[in-house]
Amino acid sequence: MEEHWTTAAGGLMVGVHRDVQSDSARVSFEFLRIEKRAEGIAYVAMPNGGPATVFPLKSSTAERIVFENLKHDFPQRITYWRDGERLCASVEGLIKERLESEEWCWSRAAGAVR
């Protein structure tokens, strides 16, 4: 799995996420945005190029940012945080009234600009 983001400029960051499962050749992808809107900062996800789902900013610090949309099926919350040099993310929410979550951490690609 990999995720790439542009730098913030003009009130917008653009990202793309891709999962490839080598043993089955299964691929999924997601177009992502973090953008400044009239109502505030929001994370916008478009899984597999589908319709956009908006997750308004819930909280942020220098090391962690949380977006939340309680009306969405799953996930309802998306969190990114720094773990040393790594970037980590989690998604969580209710599935059949049970809290479910997934978590990932990525390392900077070799030769990537800081």
pLDDT digits (tens, 9 = 90+) for 42-75: 999 999 989 999 999 999 999 999 999 999 999 9
Q: Let me know if residue 111 belongs to a domain.
A: no
Sign of the CA dihedral 112, 106, 28, 51? negative
pLDDT given at position 95: 93
pTM for the full predicted model: 0.89
Task: Indicate the number of domains in the chain.
Answer: 1
Domain that holds residue 86: 2-106
Q: Let me know if residue 114 belongs to a domain.
A: no
In contact, 90 and 74? CB cutoff 8 Å: no
Q: Let me know if residue 49 belongs to a domain.
A: yes
pLDDT given at position 111: 67
Q: Let me know if residue 35 belongs to a domain.
A: yes
pLDDT > 80? residue 34? yes
d(CA 54, CA 33): 9
Q: Let me know if residue 59 belongs to a domain.
A: yes
pLDDT > 90? residue 82? yes
d(CA 33, CA 56): 12
Cα angle: 99, vertex 36, 112; to 5 degrees? 80
